Amino acid sequence: MKYFCLIAFLICSVNGYAQVNVTGVVKDAQTSSPVPFANVVIEGTQIGTHTDNNGTYSITLDDLSKRLIVSYIGYATDTVEVRKKLKVDIYLRPTSGNMEEVVVTGTMKAVSRSASPIPVEVYTPQYFKKNPTPNLFDALEIVNGVRPQINCNVCNTGDIHINGMEGPYTMILIDGMPIVSGLATVYGLSGIPNSIVERMEIVKGPASSLYGSEAMGGVINVITKSPDRAPVFSVDVMGTSWHEYNTDVAGKFRLGKVNNLTGVNYFNYNTPYDKNNDGFTDLTLQNRVSVFNKLSVERKNDRVASVAVRYVYEDRWGGEMNWTKDWRGTDSIYGESIYTKRWELIGMYQLPVKERIITQFSYNNHDQDSYYGDVPYFANQQVAFAQAYWDKKLNISHNLLLGTSYRYTYYDDNTPGTTSADTSNSENKPAVTPLPGAYIQDEWNVNSKNTVLLGYRYDYDKHHGSIHSPRMAYKFSPNRNNTLRASFGTGYRVVNLFTEDHAALTGAREVMIAEQLNPERSYNSNLNYVLKIPARKFFVNIDATVFYSYFTNKIVGDFDTDPNKIIYDNLKGNAVSQGISVNTDVVLNEPLKISMGVTYMDVYLNEDDGTGALQRTQQLYAPKWSGNFIVSYTFPRRLLTIDLTAKWNGPMRLPVLQNDYRPEYSPFYTIANLQATKKLTKNFEVYGGVKNLFDFVPKNPIIRSFDPFDKYADDPVSNPHGYTFDPSYNYASLQGARGFLGIRYTIDK
């Protein structure tokens, strides 16, 4: 009997402590769809794994009595008992439709989104796949309060507006580095491939206290994928009925302690269409390639070390339908032709010391060779940036961030903007802008319900002297379902004239600089309230923000005084951007998710009319009402998902000429898209649908398209109103309804 008991004890011991492999699938509790890249960790240890693209995980345990902790952005963390089961499926409950992950943009350090005193909106590739696009610029179309604005109907270049503020007020970061700015704000946004994006974080309102110049209207931080978490291989190929073709390919490999991720994007559109019969291409022809490579090194104590390189080449042109490159730069057949070469370097290194000290650096070189009709525009911009910051937890209540930065901008072109100020000397004089700065931030956790953030930044510009940018924020969370945030901040922007307006470069108007331009300043306040309503059969998340920004020294281009000129000057008065934005996400027990957003904004200028009185003028391209909605329904058994996405805009003021026959305000319009996605195998899915369901296109986008060089504009008989060629009357794409079809293939292991 003793031997039998001993044998039974040994068998139980082996069953309890021998290594076994536990597998399963992590699923959405509402839709039963798999949750990719969820974290699965053994409780009480740092041992873990993550699910693959199909939600499948595999983990080795030495004790079946251990529990697994499962977490993922946008879902409540769950703790699961394995017991003696070798296959354990886990169902996570969504916490909100707008994700609840770790964010870095609001405070420059990783915190959970709910804990951040700065409201940060987060969007993942899964969100943008509901309306697949070939680049970041187009993808942001379905984000409430964010508007990609096409600035020219001929070359289709554009910028991104946040809460009605023009593109130069939006800072685009890649992994926290100011990579896309200045000249590249106009021309570089379309070169960021979706295959490298982990998520996008958006902060609306001035953020100069952390990020310095240009972060006046808001910040969009593109967080790239980590090589160790990315799929082994992925490919996404899409084509449209307009003969647009886009390919995203990414792959990774490991060599010792080095993880490498490479992504390549190729976009081609080479079929000119003129469906509105104005003699000009409706969509700019493009040939673009973007290559991205990122290395990360595994170090002791999980210290960070990574470096990334990106190269973009683009050849785009638009113009009269019979234009060829033989006519480039001539005044016979009108075309706008742009060659862009751009490369970027981004790095991050954590010092091997006890304290958490992070160094970051970046460098980019943007070279452009372009003609707008017979007007050449050759430009080169180089931006070098370095910063170091110390992230120090002083005690249980105070977390300090102390940093310093240096930004060097070199800009040269063939326009009056870089000509010597000495009128007797026409020598070219590139603009060189060194901008050293330092900043400090204290995040004070008063208690479990109250958090205060205080920040201050000091920069020195050789032309403008000392620039001070303070900010403060307060967060009150009485419980997990209610959060109130209030913030006040300032912003500034040093002058970079030829990012002010694309029309300055088209050759359609002469540029005039009225006086020495001074840096702009802004003062901003936000009040944000987040309400979560969890219930047994549904979950609702409401995120509402009231915003107000006041601008001084705003640089404005006067289009009205002379139809042949743009006159740049600092505003003699002030500018205001104010409004309210509401995002609502609804998740039902049925496999149905609904996201809706609406923004009301009033953006205007108060300018001295010459008598001392202020005259109010509505901001161009800033609709008072706008919004978006997304409806997704999944048929779990058929592995089929239907997505309906739409962005709508109310009337917005447009740049019209004197005696213009076109309306000064655009009509209310909606761009809606319908998509079906079918999962065929574990790694393979196909998707397709229709873009611009209602076939909406603007009317009369180009005035006097038959005389683009204004050779006959002075003829009083044929042109009694004195109209001149102008392609800047734009508020939506000229592409009508079109079909699209694509495939995705992913290998996770």
By residue range, what is the domain housing residue 639? 223-364+378-747
Question: Which of 198-202, 601-605, 713-717 is most confident?
Answer: 601-605
Q: Is the model's pLDDT at 49 over the cut of 60?
A: yes
* Tens of pLDDT, residues 270-283: 999 999 999 999 99
- Within 10 angstroms of residue 14's Cβ, the number of other Cβ atoms is 9
3-class SS of residue 599: strand
Asked if 83 and 232 sit in the same domain, the reply is: no
Q: Name the band, by pLDDT with cuts 50, 70 and 90, for residue 167.
A: confident
Give 206's strand partners: none
pLDDT at 288 over 90: yes
Name the domain boundary from 46, 75, 92: 92
How far is it, in rounded angstroms, from Cα 120 to Cα 491? 17
| pLDDT, the chain, mean | 83
**pLDDT digits 0-9 by tens, 392-431:** 989 889 999 999 999 998 888 887 667 655 555 567 778 7
Report pLDDT for 419.
66
Res 492: pLDDT = 75
pLDDT at residue 92, rounded to an integer:
82
CA distance linking residue 12 with residue 129, whole number of Å: 49
Residue whose tokens read 């600089």: 513
User: Of the given ranges (301-305, 444-448, 496-500, 678-682), which has the lowest mean pLDDT?
Assistant: 496-500
Residue 373 lies in a domain: no
* Residue 681 resides in a domain: yes
Is 145 a member of any domain?
no
Q: What's residue 97's pLDDT? A: 42
Q: Are 549 and 690 within one domain?
A: yes
In this prediction, residue 496 carries a pLDDT of: 59
- What pLDDT sits at residue 508? 46
Q: For the domain that residue 306 is a member of, what is the CATH number?
A: 2.40.170.20
Q: How far are the Cα atoms of 192, 308, 540 from residue 345, in angstroms, in the given order?
A: 14, 6, 41
Q: Confirm whether 157 is domain-assigned.
A: no
- The answer to whether the beta carbons of residues 264 and 193 sit under 8 Å apart is yes
Question: What pTM did the predictor assign?
Answer: 0.81
Residues 505 and 485: their CA atoms lie apart, in Å, by 41
Res 209 pLDDT > 80: no
| Tokens encoding 153 | 């109907």
Please tell me the predicted confidence (pLDDT) of residue 153. 87
Whether residues 87 and 227 share a domain: the answer is: no
Residue 539: Cβ-neighbour burial (10 angstroms; 0-12, 13-18, 19+): buried
Task: Return phi, psi of residue 715, to 5°.
Answer: -75, 110
Backbone angle region of 553, left / alpha / beta, with phi > 0 → left and psi within -120 to 50 → alpha: left
pLDDT band at residue 635 under the 50/70/90 scheme? confident
Residue that terminates a domain, selected from 58, 92, 126: 92
The pLDDT confidence band at residue 522, using thresholds 50, 70 and 90, is confident
CATH number of the domain within which 69 lies: 2.60.40.1120
The HSE-up count of residue 110 (CA atoms within 13 Å, CB side) is: 7
Q: How far apart, in whole angstroms, are the C-alpha atoms of residue 40 and residue 22?
A: 11
Specify the pLDDT at position 14. 42
Give pLDDT tens digits for 558-582.
655 665 666 667 777 888 999 999 9
Indicate the pLDDT class of residue 9, thresholds 50, 70 and 90: very low
The secondary structure of 559-598 as a DSSP string is: -SS-TTEEEEEE-SEEEEEEEEEEEEEEEESSSEEEEEEE
The model's pLDDT over 215-258, given as tens digits with 9 standing for 90+, comes to 677 888 888 888 887 889 999 999 999 999 999 999 999 999 99
Of all helices (H) and strands (E), which one includes residue 450? strand 450-461
For residue 561, being part of any structural domain is answered with yes
Highest-scoring range by mean pLDDT, 63-72, 324-333, 557-566:
324-333
**Does residue 446 lie within any of the structural domains?**
yes
Does 409 fall in a domain?
A: yes
Average pLDDT on 607-632 reads 88
Average pLDDT over residues 331-335: 93
Q: Which residue has the higher pLDDT, 366 or 509?
A: 366
Report the pLDDT value the prediction gives residue 600, as an integer from 0 to 100. 96
Task: Reduce the secondary structure of 175-230 to three states and give it as a string.
Answer: CCEEEECCHHHHHCHHHCCHHHEEEEEEEECCCHHHHCCCCCCEEEEEEECCCCCC
Q: Which of 61, 92, 123 is the last residue of a domain?
A: 92
Which residues, 6+ apart, have CB-to-CB distance to 395 below 8 Å? none
Are 103 and 111 in contact by the 8 Å Cβ rule? The answer is yes
Least confident of 213-227, 312-326, 341-355, 643-657: 213-227
pLDDT digits (tens, 9 = 90+) for 97-148: 444 455 565 555 555 667 778 888 888 888 889 999 888 888 888 899 898 8
By mean pLDDT, which of 152-166, 358-372, 486-500, 565-579 is the weakest? 486-500
Contact 435, 494 (CB under 8 A): yes
Neighbours of 378 (CB within 10 A): 14
Task: Map residue 666 onto helix, strand or coil.
Answer: coil
Domain count, the chain: 2
Residue 336: closest CA among 559, 188, 157, 138: 157
Within-domain flag for 98: no
pLDDT value, residue 503: 44
pLDDT at 193 > cutoff 80: no
Report residue 11: phi and psi, to 5°: -60, -45
Q: How many CA atoms lie within 13 A of 236 on its CB side?
A: 21
* Residues sharing a CB contact under 8 Å with residue 126, sequence separation 6 or more, in sequence order: none
CA distance 631 to 584: 12
Q: Is the pLDDT of residue 349 over 70?
A: yes
Residue scoring higher pLDDT (593 or 670): 670
In this prediction, residue 546 carries a pLDDT of 94
Query: What pLDDT band is residue 10 in, cutting at 50, 70 and 90?
Result: very low
Are 109 and 43 contacting, i.e. CB atoms less than 8 angstroms apart?
no
9-23, 340-354, 451-465: range with highest mean pLDDT:
340-354
- Residue appearing with tokens 């032309």: 463
Residue 613 pLDDT greater than 60, yes or no: yes
* CA max distance for the chain: 119
Note the pLDDT of residue 172.
83
Q: Among 693, 622, 605, 703, which Cα is nearest to 659's?
A: 703
Q: What percent of the chain has pLDDT over 70?
A: 83
